[in-house]
Amino acid sequence: MGRTIKKTLVNVLGWVLAISGLILFILPLPFGIPLFAVGLVMLISTSKTARRGVLYLRTRFERVDRLFTLVETNVPGPTRTILRKTRRRSLKRRQPVS
């Protein structure tokens, strides 16, 4: 299977799982949370836009960043690596050229 086809399938499946998770989130049983989480990890791994969106949320909201950091420390290796791509980085200021 071509790399582009595989990436597209993972991206579509990620969107389906994330949207299904949001819809099922309102149910009394917590089926939506794992579906949303798996879908989000799939999207982060294949989509720069999703990665930038999560990075924005982590930068803007301290609580979201703490939650992602907690999840990063408790998930297996490959998933941890994917989530680390969305970590906040300190912005280095450029030195003015004299």
CB 76 within 8 A of CB 38: no
Nearest to 46 by CA among 12, 81, 77: 12
- Confidence bin at 1 (pLDDT 50/70/90): low
Domain boundaries, the chain: 3-84
Cut 0.95: pTM above it: no
Tell me: the pLDDT tens digits for 20-61?
999 998 888 888 888 999 999 999 999 999 999 999 999 999
